[in-house]
Structure 1
Amino acid sequence: MAAISITGNAAGGATALAAMTAAQLAGAIPVARLGRGSNSIAYFKILIVIRTMALFGCAAACSARAPYSVFIAAAVASGLVQGAAFGHLRNAANYLVVPTQMTRFLSFGAFATELTFLVTPILAAALGTVSASLAIAAVAALGALPAFILPSAPAADAKAEEAEKRKAISPDVLIWFACACASSAAISAVEVGAVSLAMGFGLQAGYGAVFTGTLCAASLIGAIGNSFLNRTFSRHQVAGMLAAIVIGIALVLQNSFGLSIVGCALVGLFAPSLGIHYSLQINRLARPEMRAERFSALKISTSVGTILASSMLGWTSVSLTLTAAIWLLLFVLGVISVQDLIVGRRLSTARTQSLPD
């Protein structure tokens, strides 16, 4: 809407979105690192102020019919802090939520994310009929409001040796990053390819909302279920959920509208549980002073999965993209299985060595 308002060409919107996403990927870890050792909530609020001012800059550029490059520059400034803001907000949860309630808290977060995904485009579209700049300003204001009602939290103890700070990411952390990327690619393949799926069944493009709506509704149910269960999952359960998503994607590929809907529901149902598990594992494996950066890297992983799926949909077809998503999920499933085998053998060896002669 902003692109049409400024340039008269809707295609420019994709350019702004690509620039914002690229800035988010580039800035996530460096900007998060700048706040290392700071109070995570205080630093998060600073980042939200920057993002809000940048979005207001987008609204002003749109209202004043400024050169489109000005609008893109403001969008880039907004994206630059978004990944780091996510990392520090997730890290702040460690100081606001007792560990026994963390899964429930993250489930509420997943529910809120899905609800926002459903409601915000409708709100923006409604306000956009009046003014694109009004829609941008309203979304910016709504996005800033929750940040300033967060309670304060103690600063993390960031005293660590410089050598430890430079320590490479462990293989265990990399595995969960890969899992997050694969899961995101599978979900995005359905969401972004929904219109193509609908047209493949001879339906109008608008029926693509049936696929995304089913996936989002199932995700809401999955998030609610997690909030009631409030439990962590074993690796075997995580492997089972990944396998369920593989089955779901395979059903979407079938030449049956009903089976495709069931497949979308399977993908959506287990997506929140997996996202929560990845977050909990990163929290467990990362050093306290590195958590915000690791959570920002987790955000990068999910964004890369979305970019991979979107790019492949643009270059190939929805069926090939979904097939590639299946292979990516099978790869991470294989990695988890191999790691379980290695860990199991190490534990068995350790027990054997500890037995008396």
Structure 2
Amino acid sequence: MTGLGAPPSSDVASPPLDRPRSRWPLLCWFASSATLNVPQASAPVAFSLVALSVMGDARGGAAMILAMTLAQVVGAIPITRLGRNRSAATFLRLLVAFRTLALAAVVLCAHYQAPFALLVAFAAVAGLVNGAASGYLRALLNHFTPASHLPRTLGIAATLNELTFVLGPVLASALGAVSPVFALLALTLLGAIPALLVPQAGKSHVEDAPHAEGSVLSPSILLWLVCAAAGSSTVAAIEIGAVALALKFGYPPTLAILFTVPLCLASVAGGIWVSVRNRTVSDRAVVLLLGVVTFGAALTALGPSLETTVAGAILIGLVLAPLGTYYSLVLDRLAPPRRRPEVFALLRTSSALGIIFASAVLTAASLSSALIVVTATMFAVTLTVGVATLRRRTGAVNQA
């Protein structure tokens, strides 16, 4: 495999002209980034409450989530390509507006007790644009911050995103106590904020790659997409299997938070670390971080006690933000300039595929077996990246 395409060190200061004149566009981007994922973060609880009110079975919420996630995978590239010749900010607003209308249709169907199949269908329609919207939002970031500040900016965004996924279900539960339909309506409106706040883009602060065209699934790009999918499946296995883990150690189901909360808090801490450090990690450090995820997954799968399992979850959480930041930066460099939104949409879709994979394995096998499968997958990915890194370094030495 050719070079891993690591981004240049961010220690080099950008020229004064590379700095944005105002922080307001970046602040608006942060707000857009944090609120774009509100519907997805709150959907597991909000959809379950709506399903319970419509059909008397909270498990219907899982069908709505599955429909939304599968639609995201299907729509990511085709919908992203629709905006190739349009203003990125304008097209993002259209995507968010489209999703808002689809979710509003879910609200209306729930309010009027429409057939549940309609709720599932409109949830899928809403999910169609999730990947594309995420891709365009990330691509827009290059216009609002210098390349030297990207690690810090992405670290802050990762922290805000984690907080969204922590607070989203809490907000859905609190509002759902008033009315499930009202909860979904409020969360739909929060998710519409990017359509109002996303700033118009100017000149990109990231220099274009040498080649204007190219494949969005080159071997180097595909490698990091697979890494993102494997990491996502590891996290999803813990979050989805948290209740079963609590039961495994003799605790009531409500204490599933013993695994999910430390994971989320560790992820927030990792995001803060990236923001303060403001540097991208090296190739060798990425292999080490992937090894940490593998070790954490092994502790979770094979740990003999509650403490070792929680420790595994914490280890995984600590490296999520550094790895996510690296993936975003390296794909920024590897992607053909005009196709960056597609690549970032694929990055988001890879995470969705990881969740689907973890869900499928947990459905088909026991908890212990599923966690072992996820760990083995993570080990294989880590080994692949390690070999690719070694080959790249060996090739560089031979050329020298």
**Same-fold status (TM-score > 0.5):** yes
- Which of 128, 133, 136 does residue 181 from structure 2 map onto? 133
Following TM superposition, by how much is the alpha carbon of 1:155 offset from its aligned partner in structure 2, in angstroms?
7.4
2:191 match: 143
Pick the aligned partner of 2:396 from 341, 347, 353: 347
CA shift, 1:165, in A, is 5.0
Question: Does the CA-based 8 Å contact 1:37-1:155 persist in structure 2?
Answer: no
Task: Please list the CA deviations of residues 48-88 of structure 1 after superposition, one character each: whole Å capped at 9, or x if unmatched.
Answer: 00111111111111111112222222211110111100000
Q: CA deviation at 1:345?
A: 2.8
Q: Which residue of 2 aligns with 1:355?
A: none
Aligned residue identity for 1:297: L
Alignment check: 8 A CA contact 1:38 1:155 kept: no
Superposed, 1:191-340 pairs within 5 Å as: 191-252=239-300, 253-340=302-389
- Equivalent residue letter for 1:82: N
1:4 aligned residue: 52
Deviation at 1:146, TM superposition (A): 3.8
CA distance in 2 between counterparts of 1:206 and 1:65 reads 30
**Aligned with residue 60 of structure 1, among 108, 128, 138:** 108
Q: What is the CA–CA distance in structure 2 between the aligned matches of 1:68 and 1:329, rounded to whole Å? A: 37
Looking at structure 2, the residues matched to 168 and 147 of structure 1 have their Cα atoms a distance apart, in angstroms, of 27
Q: What is the CA distance between 1:348 and its match in structure 2?
A: 2.4
AA partner of residue 169 (structure 1): L
Corresponding letter in the other structure for 2:321: P
Q: Deviations along 1:141-172, whole A, 9 cap, x unmatched?
A: 1111144222210377xxxxxx9757362111
Provide the C-alpha distance between the structure 2 equivalents of 1:345 and 1:224, rounded to a whole number of angstroms: 34
Q: What is the CA–CA distance in structure 2 between the aligned matches of 1:333 and 1:70, rounded to whole Å?
A: 42
**TM-score normalized with structure 1 length:** 0.93
Distance 1:270 1:251 in 2: 15
Cα pair distance change 1:166/1:262, threshold 3 Å: closer
Specify every segment of 5 or more residues in structure 2 that has no aligned partner in the other structure, as ranges: 1-48, 205-210
Contact 2:144 2:201 survives alignment (8 Å): yes
Q: 1:112/1:71 Cα in 2 relative to 1: closer, same or farther (>3 Å)?
A: same
Gap regions ≥5 residues in structure 1:
157-162, 352-357
Q: Which of 22, 32, 36 pairs up with 2:80?
A: 32
For 2:11, the equivalent position in structure 1 comes to none
Residue number among 125, 148, 155 corresponding to 1:100 in the alignment: 148
The Cα shift of 1:135 comes to 0.7
Q: Could you tell me which amino acid in structure 2 is paired with residue 212 of structure 1?
A: T
* CA displacement, residues 99-150 of structure 1 (integer Å, 9 cap, x when unaligned): 1111111111111111111111111111112221111110011111144222
TM-score, normalised relative to structure 2: 0.83
Conservation of the 8 A alpha-carbon contact between 2:216 and 2:335: no
| Match in the other structure for 1:160 | none
CA distance in 1, matches of 2:268, 2:195: 23
Q: Name the CA distance, whole Å, in 1 between partners of 2:144 and 2:86.
A: 15
Give the letter for the 2:167 counterpart.
V
Aligned equivalents of 1:166 and 1:110: distance in 2?
A: 28
Structure-2 residue corresponding to 1:87:
135
SS of the equivalent of 2:192 reads: helix
SS at match of 2:215: coil
Residue in structure 1 matching 2:126, options 78, 82, 95: 78
Aligned to 2:164: 116
Q: Secondary structure at the match of 2:143?
A: helix
> Which AA in structure 1 matches 2:95?
L
Higher helix share: 1
Distance 2:56 2:216 in 1: 48
Alpha-carbon distance in structure 1 between the residues aligned to 2:215 and 2:314: 40
Quick check: 116-125 or 316-325, which moved more? 316-325
Partner SS for 1:66: coil
Quick one: percent identity of the two aligned structures? 37
